[in-house]
Amino acid sequence: MKNVVGVDIGNSTTEASAATIGSDAAVRFLGAALAPTTGVKGTPRNVDGVAEVVDRALRAAGVAIADLDTVLLNEATPVISGMAMETITETIITESTMIGHDPRTPGGRGLGVGTTVPYASLDDPAALSAQHPAEPVIVVVPKGVDFEVAAAAINTATRRGIVVAAAILGNDDAVLVVNRLDTTIPVIDEVSRIDAVPLGMLAAVEVAGPGQSIRTLSNAYGLATIFELDAAATKVVSPVARALTGNRSAVVVRTPAGDVADRTIPAGSLELHGESRSASVDVSRGAVEIMAAVERVSPLADVNGESGTNTGGMIANVRQSMADLSDHAVTDVHIKDLLAVDTFVPQEVRGGVAGEVALENAVALAAMVRTRESGMQAVATAVTERLRAAGADRVEVVVGGVEAEMAVLGALTTPGTDKPLVVLDLGGGSTDAAVIAADDSIDAVHLAGAGDLVTKLIDAELGLDNLELAEDIKRFPLGKAESFFHVRLENGTVQFFEKPLPATAFARVVTLDGAGMNPIPGRHSMERIRMVRRTAKERIFVVNALRALRAVAPGGDLRQIGFVVLLGGCALDFEIPDQIADALAPYGIVCGTGNVRGTEGPRNAVASGLVAAYAAKVASGGV
C-alpha cells in the first residue's frame, strides 16, 4: 500500500488530494485540502504553498507525514498577464486650459461665462468695476472661506453692479452658498487644485439640473462658440469636450499661453510566430484582429512586441519577469498563447482641476509563458527537500502530468459522467480544455487568460487601483443601501434588516459576500459596475471557452461535442457557468458544473486525476 498526495498548483490556489493505493492498484481517497498559491505558478516559490496543502491533506486523511510515500505535482505552466494600451489621445495642458470638474453636489443651474477673478477682489468693488467694466466675472473662492461669508460677499458685489456669472469653490459648499445668494448662478465646489485655476482669463462654468448632464461644455462647438475658436482650434480642443461628456457640472478656463495639444501614444504591433507561418498585427486595430492573427498562425511558438511602444514594453516585462522567476535566460522564454481583449481604461486628463479622467480605448493582453525547460523539476526538488526536512524521510516527489489531462481523469469521478467527455478547467490564469474519447485517448489545449485577467479588467475599467476590491466585485453580487434598513439588490429585489446598516454603507453601492457589506468607492452606479463585471467575464471566459472547445472538438465543430463539465475555482462563480452554458446552448451542448468524487464540487479535479493516473501506472507495472 502506498500513501500518495496529488497536488495541483494553480495561479491562485494550490489543491491537494490524499489517497492510498493498494497492492491491487485500487484507490481510496482519504482527504482534500486547499491553500493559497505562494509565488508565481510553476516556480520554486510554490514550495511553501505545496508544503502547507500536503500537511493539511494528510491531517484530514489521518496519515502521518512519516508514512507519506509519493507526492504528485501537475505540470504547471506559468501565466503572466499585462495591459497594453491602444492608441491613446492624451489631452496635454500647458498653461492653456484647465478643465473639470464633476463634484457630487454642485450648486445652482445654467451656464456662466466670464473672467476669473480672485475672491479678495470683491472687497474692492470700485477697482473690480474699473478693471472689468460691465463684464461678467467668475469668482474663485479659496479653501477656508466660510460659505456664509462667501455668499454675503457675492451678494454685496452684485448689488454694487458687479455681474457675477458663476463661482468656483475650494470647499464643499456649493449648495450652501447658492441657497444664500440673491440670484441663482452655477457654482462648482470641491476643486482640490483651486490655487491652480488661472486668474484674469475667460472661463465658462456649467451646472445641469439633477439627473441631467451638461450640454454646452461637453460639445466641441459649444466651446468654439464661447471661446471664439476657428475650425482648427475646435478640432484640437475636442478632447476637452469629450472628457466632460456625462458630467453634471464642469468648468473650462481658456488662456492664451498655448494651445491644447493632442499626443498619440502608439500601442505598437505584435509579431506572431507560429510553427509554420508568421504574422504582424497592429494592436490599435483591436482584439478581434489580434485574435484572428493568432488563429492564422496557430499553433503559436512565440510573440514579440514592437520596441519603443506600450506593447513592446508589456511583452518585454512578461519575458523578464518569467526569466527572473525561473532563473532562465530571457532568450529561453517563449510565449505559447495570447489572449487579447478590448476594454476601456480611465486616463487622467492633464490640466484638470481635480484629477478628471477620460475613458480611453485599451487592449488587455494575457500571455502564457513557457521556458525551454520546465521549471517544475526545480519545484519538485525543492518540495522533496522541504518534506524530508519535515519528517517524510522516504517521500518521492514526481511531476505527474499535464493539467488538462489530469483534469479529465478527475472529472470522470463526477457522478453521472462517462466517456467521451470534455472538460473546461477555469482557473486564475489559464483556461484548459481536454476531451477524452471512448478509447481513452486525450486531446488537450492550454490557453492564457482566466480569473486573474477578469479582476484586472474590472480594476482598470472602474479605475479602482485596488485588486482586492476588484476581486470582490468579480466574486459577489451587488446591492445599494437605499436606507439604513434596506438594500436594493442588483436583481431588483429588496432585502430588509432589523438592525441599522453601517454608516459607511449608506447610499453606496456595496458587494454582498454573505458575511457583510463592502462599500465600493467612487461614483459608478450599480448598473455600471454590474455591466463592467459581466462584460469582463464574457470577454475572458466565454471567448476562451469557445476557443478551447474548438481546439479539441473533432474537426473544430462544436456540434460534435455532447457534454461539457466545468471545473476549477471560477466554476464556483455565481454567473460564469450560466454565461458559458448560454453561449454553448446554440450548439446543442449540455454544460454543467462538475462534482469531483461526488464531494468536492468543481475543485480538486487535477489533484484527484494525478492520483488516478499514478494508480493506473501502478496497475500496469510502470511504477
110-125 mean pLDDT: 90
Query: Is residue 432 assigned to a domain?
Result: no
Query: Is residue 380 assigned to a domain?
Result: yes
In three-state secondary structure terms, 472 is helix
Tell me the pLDDT tens digit for each residue of 570-579: 999 999 999 9
pTM given for the model? 0.76
DSSP annotation of 599? T
Cβ(527)–Cβ(492) below 8 Å: no
The domain boundary residue, chosen from 370, 391, 422? 370
**Domain shared by 60 and 192, yes or no:** no
**Domain shared by 136 and 224, yes or no:** yes
Share of the chain above pLDDT 70, in %: 89
Cell of 148: 456664509
Which band of pLDDT confidence, cut at 50, 70 and 90, is reported for residue 101?
Answer: low
pLDDT score of 402 = 80
Query: Is residue 508 assigned to a domain?
Result: no
Count how many Cα atoms sit within 13 Å of the Cα of residue 367 in the half-sphere of its side chain. Answer: 30
Which band of pLDDT confidence, cut at 50, 70 and 90, is reported for residue 476?
Answer: very high
pLDDT score of 96 = 43
pLDDT score of 232 = 83
Average pLDDT, the chain: 86
Query: Is residue 530 assigned to a domain?
Result: no
pLDDT score of 84 = 53
pLDDT score of 255 = 66
Query: Is residue 195 assigned to a domain?
Result: yes
Cβ(26)–Cβ(17) below 8 Å: no
pLDDT score of 345 = 74
Q: What is the CATH number of the domain that holds 394?
A: 3.30.420.40
pLDDT score of 201 = 87
pLDDT score of 463 = 85
**Domain shared by 237 and 286, yes or no:** no
Domain extent for 32:
1-76+375-413+602-622
Which band of pLDDT confidence, cut at 50, 70 and 90, is reported for residue 291?
Answer: very high
**Domain shared by 240 and 124, yes or no:** yes
Tell the burial category of 373 from Cβ atoms under 10 Å away from its Cβ (0-12, 13-18, 19+).
exposed
pLDDT above 70 (res 277): yes
**Domain shared by 306 and 341, yes or no:** yes
pLDDT above 70 (res 487): yes
Q: Residues near 78 by Cβ (< 8 Å), separated by ≥ 6?
A: 40, 41, 42, 43, 322, 325, 326, 368, 369, 370, 375, 429
Closest by CA to 146, choosing from 108, 182, 119, is: 119
pLDDT above 70 (res 532): yes
Share of the chain above pLDDT 90, in %: 49
The domain boundary residue, chosen from 312, 339, 370? 370
pLDDT score of 81 = 58
The domain boundary residue, chosen from 216, 235, 261? 261
Cell of 130: 474699473
**Domain shared by 30 and 18, yes or no:** yes
**Domain shared by 287 and 353, yes or no:** yes
**Domain shared by 103 and 229, yes or no:** yes
Which band of pLDDT confidence, cut at 50, 70 and 90, is reported for residue 420?
Answer: confident
Q: What is the CATH number of the domain that holds 292?
A: 3.90.470.30
Domains identified in the chain, total number: 3
> For residue 93, how many other CB atoms are within 10 A of its CB?
17
Which band of pLDDT confidence, cut at 50, 70 and 90, is reported for residue 85?
Answer: very low
**Domain shared by 207 and 284, yes or no:** no
Q: How far apart are CA 531 and CA 520, in angstroms?
A: 15
pLDDT score of 93 = 38
**Domain shared by 173 and 133, yes or no:** yes
pLDDT score of 79 = 64
